[in-house]
Each structure stands twice: as structure tokens, then as C-alpha cells.
């Protein structure tokens, strides 16, 4: 099992020397990866109309730029998006940006993608919200083509490419593409897409709820002619300073027993340094228990 430190919004702050020091501290502590989320823009809170969506009240680092900075000040940790909202971005530009990040990091990118639920972002980025689920499938196919073929010709519903290619290419050919799903909500269409297309899944369910859903995803993978054992699974544990570490260990063991290949931690704290300190406590408790039990 690989262990990741997950940062949402601006948990790491805005001071680049502090960010550099803290991500280097996480790498030294033994974390295998660092991940971050994606929101390009937020609308006025009044526009949310009670929906649970990102607004301008919350700051978020641009994930590919943020991970590029982290790549430059680290040597080993994997760089992951959890997740990049792919349908609100131009596919060819995303392919280029990800290829460059993978190249300059020495092949450390793991691209988590999702469709999101914030119509305000799609509106601001001039992309269609209603068909985002169908478009992401075409996008994933094209990304993999860009990252493996010298020239790409493609005729789809939303993309028309005539003998075009990236230069330079990424180290990984192709870059692994994982898919996310919304917390606590089960969409059968999303589960089928994950089983059929994704290199891995980033579920957001407690172990007891995850087990039957995971079996459905594996069934979709088998139905697509894939080996379910090759599907990566990244689960998450949310922590607070007053937690009993035994709770973290119990959850980690439960996820491991379900076949999780990756486990990441979200931490609460008053400062970025507090968050990183709690993440290190979590790894110290969970790492040996999962590895030796």
C-alpha cells in the first residue's frame, strides 16, 4: 500500500518558502505521494442557491501549476490530482500540460479526473455542463492517444483531430488516469465508466459502504474484458488533532483488507505546519500497522 498526503483548497497556505519546506518534510517522512484538488474559479456565494458547490469564498491552488512547483522542490513523491475536473478544460491543452508535468518530474504524475458538480465553473470556462459525463469518456481516450502516439487522428462527437501530436512526450506512455466519484453518492453510470476505463478509482466511502460498491465496479471491469485486480483503489482517511490513532489504524486495515492499493490522509489544523505535523503522526501510526499486521 502507498501512502499519500492530500491537500485541498489552500491547506498549504500561500507562502511558497513554507510550501517548499513542508512538502520536503513530507517526502523525508516517507510519504509516497502528494495530491491536491481542482477548482479554477468560484462564483459569488449567493449564486450557489443552497447547493454544496465551490464558491469564491474558498481559495484553491491551480493543481497542475501547484504540482509542478512541488515537482521542482522534491525528488521522489508521486504527484496526483484528486481530481482534475477534465470536462471543463480543453482536452488538447490538458494533454500538453500533463505531459510536460510528467516529463519535468521524471514520470511522477498520476492524473485523477472527474466531472464535478459546479455549473458556475463550466459557465465561466465556456464549457457545456449537461454533457460532461459523456464528454469525459472521449477525453480520456484522446489523452491516452496523445501520450502514446506520435500523431493522432480522431473523429468523435466533440473532437476532430487530423494528424496532430505532442512534442515533447511524457515519460509515462500513457500517464495513468484514475477516476473519482462524489462523496456519499452512487451513480451507476460513473461506476460503470470507472470499471470500463479507469486505471484506478478514488472512492469516498467508509469501508462497510465501499465493499458492495467495489464489487459492482469489479463486475463492470470484468464485463469490459479487464482484470479487476489491475484496478488501483485509493481510499482516504480524514483526521483531527484529538483523534485516537487506533481509529486510523482500524480504518487503514479495513481498507487494506478490501484491496486498497493507496491510502491518503486529509488533516485538520490551524496552520499548514499543524496539518503536516498531524499527517506525520498519522503515517507513524498507520504505516507500521498496515505493513506488519
Q: What digits encode the pLDDT tens for the residues 172-186?
A: 999 999 999 877 778
**124, 151 in Cβ contact below 8 A?**
no
Cβ–Cβ < 8 Å for 279, 243 = no
Taking only the tens place, the pLDDT of each residue in 79-110 is: 999 999 999 999 999 999 999 999 999 999 99
Q: What rounded mean pLDDT belongs to the chain?
A: 96
Secondary structure (3-state) at 243? coil
Contact assessment for residue 254 and residue 290, using Cβ atoms and an 8 Å cutoff:
no
Which of 264, 228, 274, 285 is CA-nearest to residue 7? 264
Q: What is the pLDDT of residue 216?
A: 96
Q: Are 40 and 19 in contact (CB under 8 A)?
A: no
d(CA 10, CA 145): 33
> Rounded CA gap, 174 and 62, in Å?
23
Cβ 181 vs Cβ 214: under 8 Å: no
Q: CB-based contacts of 277: which residues, under 8 Å, 6+ apart?
A: 269
Alpha-carbon gap, residue 86 to 63, rounded angstroms? 12
Helix, strand or coil, per DSSP, at residue 33: strand
Q: How far apart are CA 65 and CA 57, in angstroms?
A: 21
Whether the model pTM is above 0.85 = yes
Q: How confident is the model over 109-132, as a mean pLDDT? A: 96
Rg over alpha carbons for the chain, rounded to the nearest Å, is 19
Indicate the pLDDT class of residue 55, thresholds 50, 70 and 90: very high
Check residue 216 and report its DSSP letter. H
Judge whether residue 293 has pLDDT over 90.
Answer: no
pLDDT of amino acid 181: 85
The arithmetic mean of pLDDT across residues 236-258, rounded, is 98
- Whether the per-residue pLDDT at 292 is higher than 60: the answer is no
Q: CA 181, CA 202: separation in Å to the nearest integer?
A: 7
Q: What is the structure's pLDDT at 291?
A: 79
pLDDT of residue 185: 76
Kindly tell me if the per-residue pLDDT of 234 is higher than 80. Answer: yes
Paired with 111 in beta bridges are 81, 177
Amino acid at each position: 500500500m502507498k501512502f499519500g498526503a492530500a491537500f485541498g483548497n489552500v491547506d498549504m497556505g500561500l507562502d511558497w518558502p513554507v510550501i517548499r519546506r513542508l512538502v520536503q518534510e513530507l517526502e523525508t517522512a516517507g510519504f509516497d505521494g502528494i495530491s491536491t484538488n481542482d477548482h479554477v474559479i468560484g462564483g459569488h456565494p449567493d449564486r450557489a442557491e443552497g447547493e454544496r458547490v465551490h464558491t469564491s469564498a474558498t481559495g484553491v491552488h491551480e493543481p497542475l501549476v501547484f504540482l509542478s512547483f512541488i515537482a521542482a522542490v522534491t525528488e521522489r513523491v508521486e504527484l496526483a490530482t484528486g481530481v482534475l475536473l477534465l470536462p471543463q478544460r480543453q482536452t488538447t491543452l490538458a494533454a500538453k500540460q500533463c505531459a510536460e508535468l510528467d516529463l519535468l518530474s521524471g514520470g511522477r504524475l498520476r492524473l485523477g479526473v472527474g466531472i464535478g458538480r459546479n455549473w458556475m465553473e463550466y459557465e465561466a470556462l465556456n464549457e457545456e455542463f449537461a454533457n460532461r459525463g459523456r464528454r469525459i469518456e472521449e477525453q480520456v481516450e484522446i489523452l491516452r492517444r496523445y501520450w502514446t502516439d506520435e500523431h493522432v487522428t480522431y473523429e468523435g462527437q466533440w473532437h476532430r483531430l487530423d494528424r496532430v501530436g505532442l512534442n515533447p512526450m511524457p515519460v509515462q506512455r500513457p500517464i495513468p488516469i484514475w477516476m473519482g466519484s462524489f462523496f456519499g453518492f452512487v451513480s451507476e453510470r460513473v461506476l460503470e465508466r470507472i470499471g470500463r476505463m479507469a486505471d484506478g478509482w478514488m472512492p469516498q466511502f467508509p469501508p462497510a459502504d465501499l465493499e458492495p460498491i467495489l464489487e459492482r465496479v469489479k463486475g463492470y471491469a470484468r464485463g469490459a474484458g479487464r482484470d479487476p485486480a489491475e484496478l488501483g483503489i485509493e481510499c482516504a482517511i480524514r483526521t483531527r488533532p484529538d483523534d485516537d490513532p487506533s481509529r486510523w489504524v482500524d480504518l487503514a486495515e479495513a481498507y487494506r483488507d478490501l484491496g486498497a492499493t493507496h491510502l491518503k490522509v486529509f488533516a485538520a489544523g490551524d496552520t499548514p505546519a499543524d496539518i503536516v505535523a498531524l499527517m506525520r503522526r498519522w503515517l507513524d501510526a498507520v504505516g507500521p500497522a498496515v505493513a506488519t499486521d
